[in-house]
Structure 1
């Protein structure tokens, strides 16, 4: 039995095309409804993280978790309706990044609607408010990288509960 070998420029082009496309990934689309009215998504005292940075980071969190947890080819549409970040801004301290005081009385809370599509059909949808009053007991930001650590942990837990069969 002879094996067929692909050689020359055609074979290299095919190999390059396969490498460029990579494995299929889940598609996660995130939208925000009236973010300027969110409970607490930015430092309102002139220092700290602006709203656009918070929204960009939250979008990245949803996309990273979706790509890790959802099946290739699935699409998750998320519409964020409200954000209340962990902690509260401390006015009066003028530091370039601001100061956010986090206590057990200030848990993160995110309200959003979602729809999961598989082969163009909606297979799961709903509106959720995720929060964890024990967030300081169940997470340790000292070993984290990136911003919005408590919110990332909250969404990681939600993905694990909502899509357990996918991962």
Structure 2
């Protein structure tokens, strides 16, 4: 066996044991209930939803759960409605989303946090962020869902993380 092969085997063994030692995150299921009826989850004018918007929201919730949800816990989220910040003005070409203070992001969702067979928290909520345009937003201006992601961060901390640490 060459030096390179031995080195590669040693690195893979070390990496494999490090990955095995990390705790596995809890399980997360996300269901979008009748997304065709959502108030505004589309990048273009009109009601309904775009798969790209739903996928970005799903990925963000998965990232939050992977970071915060310990092994042995499960979280199921049903998203019932989405109303993105701002509105798409039909008068402009290119689907320009106009942001005003009165057009804050909103979502209606139902969730259940479980530890094994025990339900820790379960609720249907209408979350919003009326102050979305004020203060610090950790997501850059190039992120089209920066206001919704910040709102979901706040909700996850308030509704989920506090139950995990109490």
How many residues of Structure 1 are paired with residues of Structure 2 in the alignment? 152
Instruction: Report the alpha carbon displacement of residue 12 of structure 1 after superposing the two structures with TM.
Output: 8.7
Partner SS for 1:105:
coil
CA distance 1:84–1:91, shift in 2 (3 Å): same
Determine helix, strand or coil for the equivalent of 2:104.
coil
Q: Higher relative CO (CA 8 A, sep ≥ 6), structure 1 or 2?
A: 1
With over 3 angstroms needed to count, the CA separation of the structure-2 counterparts of 1:160 and 1:16, relative to structure 1, is closer
Shift of 1:145: 6.0
Residue 164 (structure 2) aligns with? 166
Cα distance in 2, alignment partners of residues 147 and 69 from structure 1:
24
> Where do residues 23-62 of structure 1 align in structure 2 (5 Å cutoff)?
23-45=23-45, 51-62=50-61
TM-score (norm 2): 0.79
Structure 2 unaligned runs (5+)? 1-9
- In 1, the alpha carbon distance for the partners of 2:13 and 2:117 equals 29
Contact kept in structure 1, 2:109 and 2:124, CA below 8 Å: yes
TM-score normalized by the length of structure 1: 0.78
3-state SS of paired residue (1:79): strand
For 1:91-130, what per-residue CA distance to the aligned partner results, in whole angstroms no more than 9, with x for missing partners?
13222xx210111000000000001111232211110110
Indicate the residue corresponding to 1:93 in structure 2: 92
Q: Which residue of 2 aligns with 1:6?
A: none
1:131 to partner: Cα distance: 0.5
The whole-number CA distance in structure 2 between the counterparts of 1:166 and 1:20 is 23
Q: Which residue of 2 aligns with 1:77?
A: 76
Aligned pair 1:103/2:91, yes or no? no
In structure 2, distance between residues paired with 1:16 and 1:104: 49
Q: Secondary structure at the match of 1:78?
A: strand
**CA distance, structure 2, for counterparts of residue 30 and residue 43 of structure 1:** 21
Instruction: Say if 2:99 is the partner of 1:135.
Output: no
Q: Deviations over 1:136-163 (max 9, x none)?
A: 1134377466431101111111111122
Select 1:125's aligned residue among 111, 122, 127.
122
